[in-house]
Amino acid sequence: MKGVLATRAPGVPMVDVTHGVPPQDVRVGALFLETAWPWFPIGTVFLCVVDPGVGTARRPLVVRAAERLFVGPDNGLFGLLPDPVAREITAPWGFPVASATFHGRDLFAPVAARLAIGAAFDEVGPIVDDAVPLTIPVAVHGRGEVLYVDHYGNAVTNLPAADSGVVRLGAARLPVVRTYGAAAPGQPVALTGSTGRLELAVRDGDAARTLGVAPGSPVHWEPE
């Protein structure tokens, strides 16, 4: 994919946001994208490939949101972007023969390159008004769940930010702290992470392994 970008959009800076999305996990990809896009300048083109439906009838899209463009599959990956406008890719910008297993290289990268060197959003193809939605579970009355586990073993929940209280995980009670440094080495805690959600962490350790949590594990925040 980088080879295609370098060939078709020479000189355009490329930044890797992450290669840490678990295989086929569209929801985690959408959450990573939600966290990352605000930190990139207006006009950025995001090439987003979490595509378990590659080669099927799922539509290829370019989405415009927040004055940025996002290229990738219509499978919910763009479901957390603000006020998105989607177009199906019908412009002949990909390779004439596309692999059935690697649209990231053969379709999405050429399209992203074309947009990065100045092609207009309106040229991509027809407007799509029924893009696949994405549903993220919402915490209710302090009761939520783990959404994903990051590279460090921190368990990111759907609980909103908090600077006090405790998070119950089964029989465990994790105090909410402001920083990792506020905990003793090996201590399980909860804190508001860079996503703006409460995370379960172990100081200098792996919370998922230590606490036995995984996506879907129930959590409950309550005041002390």
Q: What is the mean pLDDT of residues 168-176?
A: 94
Does residue 146 register a pLDDT over 90? Answer: yes
Angle, CA of 125, 119 and 26, to the nearest 5°: 60
> In this structure, are 123 and 163 located in the same domain?
no
Return the pLDDT at 165.
97
20, 123: one domain: yes
Total domains present in the chain:
2
Say whether both 69 and 166 belong to one domain: no
If we measure between CA atoms, which residue out of 99, 101, 103, 92 comes closest to residue 125? 92
| Domain end (from 100, 128, 156) | 128
For residue 115, the SS3 value is helix
Token digits for 204?
A: 């200098």
Give whole-number Cα distances, 169 to 72, 74, 174, in Å.
36, 35, 8
* Residue 175, pLDDT score: 97
- Judgement on whether residues 60 and 166 belong to the same structural domain of the protein: no
**Residue 133 domain flag:** no
Phi, psi (rounded to 5 degrees) for 149: -115, 130
Q: pLDDT tens digits, residue range 81-140?
A: 999 999 999 999 999 999 999 999 999 999 999 999 999 999 999 999 999 999 999 999
Best CA proximity match to 28, nearest among 77, 92, 87: 77
- pLDDT at residue 16, rounded to an integer: 96
- CA 180 to chain centroid: 24
Residue 69 belongs to domain spanning = 2-128
User: Do 214 and 169 contact (CB within 8 A), yes or no?
Assistant: no
CATH number at residue 162: 2.40.30.90
In a domain, 213, yes or no: yes
137 inside domain:
no
pLDDT above 90 for 154: yes
Q: Are 175 and 166 in contact (CB under 8 A)?
A: yes
Residue 117 backbone phi and psi in degrees, to 5: -100, 10
Strands 45-47 and 68-73: parallel
51-83 pLDDT tens trace: 999 999 999 999 999 999 999 999 999 999 999
**Final residue belonging to a domain, choices 128, 162, 182:** 128
* Banded pLDDT at 41 (limits 50, 70, 90): very high
Sequence-distant (6+) residues with CB within 8 A of 217 are 145, 146, 155, 169
Does 115 lie in the same domain as 6? yes
pTM metric for this prediction: 0.93
Q: Identify the pLDDT of residue 224.
A: 80
Residue 202 in any domain: the answer is yes
Mean pLDDT score, 20-45: 96
Are 76 and 119 part of one and the same domain? yes
Mean pLDDT of 194-213: 96
**Continuous H helices in the chain:** 2-8, 26-36, 103, 109-116, 207-211
Say if residue 28 is in the same domain as residue 61. yes
pLDDT at 43 over 90: yes
Domain boundary among 95, 128, 161: 128
pLDDT band at 199 (very low <50, low <70, confident <90, very high): very high
- 136 located within any domain: no
Q: Are residues 214 and 150 located together in one domain of the fold?
A: yes
Max alpha carbon distance in the chain (Å)? Answer: 62
